[in-house]
């Protein structure tokens, strides 16, 4: 029978049919870190008027995707906020912005947090990928191979290193270590799956020449 004489059964070809949307696709690494947030009692919400904020109720607010840079990754932003929580202490989860005074740019805990972040990411070879966004990247990128080592002999640096060492010690306790380290491990495993495909990746956006964030995420497990 010629194919042109065949007709699709009506039950397969209803012109009024609209496919029901029954699932949502989410980037796998975002699933990892959103799940980790829930395990730690943190709810994530988006607001275009906020870059990042905690309100003391267990809600973490981040800006919407269109207001973030191309290399901003939900995983790294959540991880950075968790490092603030660890650095500032367990009880600051009930305080706005992890207990930081508003508009105070002179707080050693900020740099202490960044050293903790580098130390923890280093354990999984993810220092570059899981670094901070925004202005603090200039400090983070100057940290030595050992992120707890001295940068200079200033009183500021000495105080930051004390803060960072305390944060590293605190990170090993509940509720943080198990869920956050598992999330970093899963992030590294996801990168390992992508590595064979990176050389052949081509952006779907014409003229996009930015390399993938994944390409700078390598390193040996320490």
Q: What is the DSSP string of 80-127?
A: HHHHHHHHH-GGGGGSBGGGPPTT----HHHHHHHHHHHHHHHTTT-T
Q: Which residue has the higher pLDDT, 220 or 59?
A: 59
For residue 68, the Cα-to-chain-centroid distance in whole angstroms is 13
pTM of the model: 0.91
Going by pLDDT thresholds of 50, 70 and 90, the confidence category of residue 220 is: very low
Say what the pLDDT of residue 121 is: 97
The strand pairing partners of 107, in sequence order, are none
Q: 29, 35 in Cβ contact below 8 A?
A: no
Share of the chain above pLDDT 90, in %: 75
Reported as a single tens digit per residue, the pLDDT across 125-183 is 999 999 998 888 999 999 999 999 999 999 999 999 999 999 999 999 999 999 999 99
Q: Is the pLDDT of residue 4 over 80?
A: no
Say what the pLDDT of residue 222 is: 38
Reported as a single tens digit per residue, the pLDDT across 39-49 is 999 999 999 99
Q: 83, 62 in Cβ contact below 8 A?
A: no
Closest CA to 120 of 189, 168, 72: 168
Q: Is the pLDDT of residue 103 over 90?
A: no
Residue 36's alpha-carbon distances to 87, 126, 176, 179, 210, in angstroms, are 18, 17, 10, 6, 29
Closest CA to 163 of 119, 104, 97, 222: 119
Separation of alpha carbons 57 and 74, rounded Å: 20
Interval 85-94 mean pLDDT: 96
Neighbours of 187 (CB within 10 A): 25
Separation of alpha carbons 115 and 90, rounded Å: 18
Say what the pLDDT of residue 221 is: 39
Separation of alpha carbons 75 and 62, rounded Å: 12
Closest CA to 176 of 100, 54, 79: 79
Long-range contacts of 169-176 (CB under 8 A, 24+ apart): 170/86, 170/87, 170/89, 170/90, 171/86, 171/116, 171/120, 175/40, 175/41, 175/90, 176/40, 176/82, 176/85, 176/86
Going by pLDDT thresholds of 50, 70 and 90, the confidence category of residue 1 is: low
Domain residue ranges of the chain, discontinuous segments joined by +: 26-64+74-197
């Amino acid at each position: 029978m010629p194919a042109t004489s065949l007709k699709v059964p009506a039950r397969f070809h209803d012109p009024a049919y609209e496919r029901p949307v029954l699932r949502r696709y989410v980037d796998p690494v975002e699933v990892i870190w959103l799940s980790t947030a829930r395990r730690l009692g943190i709810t994530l919400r988006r607001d275009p008027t906020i870059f990042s904020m905690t309100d003391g109720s267990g809600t973490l607010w981040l800006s919407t995707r269109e207001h973030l840079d191309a290399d901003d990754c939900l995983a790294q932003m959540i991880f950075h906020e968790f490092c603030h929580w660890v650095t500032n202490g367990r009880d600051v989860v009930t305080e706005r912005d992890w207990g930081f005074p508003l508009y105070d740019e002179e707080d050693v805990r900020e740099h202490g947090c960044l050293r903790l972040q580098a130390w923890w990411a280093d354990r999984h070879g993810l220092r570059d990928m899981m670094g901070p966004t925004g202005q603090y990247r200039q400090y983070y990128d100057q940290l030595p191979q050992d992120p707890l080592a001295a940068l200079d002999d200033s009183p500021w640096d000495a105080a930051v290193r004390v803060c960072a060492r305390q944060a590293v010690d605190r990170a090993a306790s509940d509720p943080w270590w198990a869920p956050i380290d598992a999330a970093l491990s899963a992030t590294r495993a996801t990168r390992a799956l992508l590595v064979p495909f990176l050389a052949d990746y081509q952006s779907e956006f014409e003229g996009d020449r930015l390399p993938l964030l994944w390409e700078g995420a390598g390193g040996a497990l320490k």
